[in-house]
Amino acid sequence: PEWLKKRLEKCGIRSINNVVDITNYVLLEFGHPLHAFDADKIAGKRIRIATSDTTGLQNVSIYTLDRIERKVPEDTLLIWDSEKPIAIAGIMGGLNSEVDKNTTNIFLESAYFEPFSVRRTSKSLGLVSESSYRFERGTDIEFLINALNRAAFLIKEIAGGIIYELIDSYPVRCIPVPLEIRYEGINKFLGTQLSKEEMLEILKRLQIPAENRGDYFIVYPPSARRDIKNNSDVAEEIARLYGYDRIKSTIPRRFTPAAQSNKKLKIISQIRDCIRKQGFIEVINYSFMSLESLDIIGVPETDKRRNAISIKNPLSKEDSFLRTTLIPSLIENFKYNLDREIEDIRLFEISKVFEDTGKQLPLESLRLGGIYYREKKPSLWKEDTPGFFIVKGILESIFYEFRIKGYSFISSSEPFLLKGQASDINVNEEKVGYIGLLLPEIGERLNIKKPKLEIFLFEIDLDLLIKFIPDFITYVSIPRYPSVERDIAIVVNEDIPASDILNMLKTFPSDVIEEVSIFDHYKGANIPEGMKSLAFSIIYRSKERTLTDEEVEKVHSSLVEYILRKTGGELRK
C-alpha cells in the first residue's frame, strides 16, 4: 500500500515488495529485525543454525540479497536448509531463498543473535545492514514473538493468506539477574536526598520493576535493558529522570593523599633536559626492527642482541621483531636527515629494548641512545675538537649533573665501533653503556657518500645507571686552605688509553691529591710517530694546613716518576 511505501521512504528505506516492506516496517516500529524466506525454496522444509566449520564443508560461499557472492570464514554463523546456507545469521539473507513476485508461501523468522558474533562477522565480511546494526547493539530477547505476530498480522491484512502455525525454539530461558540496591548507597553515589518513594516512582515511570525491602530494594532489569548490570547503572537511570541540573555540586569528602614522587621518572626527565642543553633533539621511534638491520651494523650471531622477540602479525618485514638496541633506529634517523642536507645532526632517544631470555616474559630495559654528526669544514685558526671527546664530554656532563662517582671509559670491543675510538662506560667496574665512532664500512653499506664520514654513537642502560645515582647530595664544606695546581704533559704510546693514565693518577697513594683532569690530547709536530701527548691538571690541597712548595714538589715529583715508570713514557719538553 501507498502509506507503507511513503513511511519507509521517509526513513530512507526503498520499497521492494509487500512482504519485505512489512518486515522493514516492523523493524522500524519495534527495533527488532525480521527476515522472510520463500518457504518453497527451503530444501527439506526445515532450517538449522550452524557455523560452516561444524558442517564438514570447506570454502563455503553464499550469494546474498545484494547479489554478491561472499566467501564466509569458518566461524561464521549461518542459517541452513537441508542442503545449503540460505542466510548469514543476523546480517543478510541469501539470494537463493528471497521472496519475489512468484512467492506464495512464506517462512517468517524472528531470532535473537549474540551482538559479539554478529559484529565479528559483519566486520570480517565488510557487510553492514539494518539488521546487523540492531543485532550488534543488542535486541530484546523476550520481544521476538511480539514482533513476529505484528508482521504476520500486517502480511495477512495487506497481502492476504493464512497464518499456519508458530514455532518457538527457546531452549534455555534468559532470566535477568536481580540487583539489590540500597537507598542510602544511591543517595551517597549521586549526592542527593531522595526518599524511597521518589526512587521507586522514577523506576516505575521507566518501566523497571522494583520491590521495596526496607533499607534496600530489588530491581529486576527488563529484557530490553541489557545495559542495566549493576548499582551504578540503576543510579544513572534515577539521576537522568530526576534531572542532573537538580543535583547540587559538592566538594569531595574523601581524603586524597599527596602523590608520591617517582624517582625514576624524575631522573629521566632531568636526563632529557641535560642532553637537550647540548643541542640534541629527541626522536621517538617504533619499538620494532628487522634482523637485517643488525646484519648491516655487523652484530655477530652469538651476540645477545640477536635474541629478539618476533611479532605475531607484523605490519611489514622491517617491523617483524622487537628492538634489542636503539642503534639501528638512530642510524635510520641520521640517514633521513643527512639525505636532506642537514650538516649538524644530534639526535637522542630514550626508550625500552626487549631481550628474549627464554622465560615467559622478556627482559625489558630502558636505554638512552644517541648519534652525533657534524660535517667537517676547514678552519684557518683553530683545530676542531675531535667528535669522540665532544660526545664523551656530553655524557660526563650527565654524570656530573647526577653526582655519579667511579665512572671510567675503557677500550671497547663493540662490533660496529672503530677500535681506538670506542669505549665501554663503566661505573664501579660495571658496564652501563658504550660510546664510539661508527665503522666507515657501515656507512658504505648504507650508501652514504660522504668523504671522511664520522658518526659517533652512544647507548646507555638507564636502569643500571640509575642505581648509581645517590638519593641524597652530601654537603661538602668550602675548603679552609688554598689549593696548588700543577700540570704534567707526557708523551706515551698512542695505544695507551688516556683513561688508564687518568685512573693511575687518581689512585696514586696520597692524601693531598684532590682532583685530576685531562685537558689536552695532541699528535703532530714534535711528537714521534706512533706516540701522543697527554696533558693533565692536578690539584693539591690539605684538609689540615696550607701546603708549602716543598711539600707539593715532593708529592708531584713522586707522582711524575710513578706515571713515567708505569707507562714507559717521557715528559714532554
- pLDDT tens sequence across 505-548: 988 989 899 999 888 888 888 888 889 999 999 999 998 899 99
> Which of 236-250, 382-396, 533-547 has the least mean pLDDT?
382-396
**500: which 3 cell numbers?**
688508564
Q: Do 376 and 239 share a structural domain?
A: no
> Would the pTM count as exceeding 0.95?
no
Residue 340 lies in a domain: yes
Residue 251 lies in a domain: no
* Dist CA 567 CA 573 (whole Å): 17
Q: Does 256 have pLDDT greater than 80?
A: no
| pLDDT-derived band at 314, boundaries 50, 70, 90 | confident
What does the pLDDT read at residue 378? Answer: 60
Overall average pLDDT of the 312-317 stretch:
86
Q: Does 379 have pLDDT greater than 70?
A: no
Mean pLDDT of the chain: 90
Closest by CA position to 425, among listed 440, 436, 439: 436
**What percentage of the chain carries pLDDT values higher than 70?**
98
User: Per the structure, how many domains does the chain have?
Assistant: 4
**Are the C-beta atoms of residues 558 and 486 closer than 8 Å to each other?**
no
Q: Does 380 have pLDDT greater than 70?
A: no
Which structural domain range is residue 184 located in? 179-246
> Which of 152-161, 190-199, 460-469, 471-480 has the least mean pLDDT?
471-480
What does the pLDDT read at residue 155? Answer: 92
Overall average pLDDT of the 440-452 stretch:
83
Q: Which of 467, 500, 531 is the last residue of a domain?
A: 467
CA separation, residue 174 to residues 31, 119, 258, 293, 533 (Å):
19, 21, 48, 57, 89
Q: Does 28 have pLDDT greater than 90?
A: yes
The CATH number of the domain holding residue 539 is 3.30.70.380
> What single DSSP character describes residue 73?
P
- pLDDT tens sequence across 123-150: 999 999 999 999 999 898 888 999 999 9
* Dist CA 146 CA 30 (whole Å): 9
- Three-state SS letters, 199-259: HHHHHHHCCCCEEECCCEEEECCCCCCCCCCCHHHHHHHHHHHHCHHHCCCCCCCCCCCCC
What does the pLDDT read at residue 156? Answer: 92
Residue 253 lies in a domain: no
Residue 478 lies in a domain: no
* Dist CA 9 CA 23 (whole Å): 14
Q: Do 225 and 307 share a structural domain?
A: no
Q: Does 251 have pLDDT greater than 80?
A: no
What does the pLDDT read at residue 382? Answer: 58
CA separation, residue 519 to residues 390, 418, 437, 504, 505 (Å):
13, 23, 21, 16, 14
Q: Does 383 have pLDDT greater than 90?
A: no
Residue 325 lies in a domain: yes
**Are the C-beta atoms of residues 257 and 216 closer than 8 Å to each other?**
no
Q: Do 61 and 103 share a structural domain?
A: yes
What does the pLDDT read at residue 377? Answer: 66
**Are the C-beta atoms of residues 240 and 188 closer than 8 Å to each other?**
no
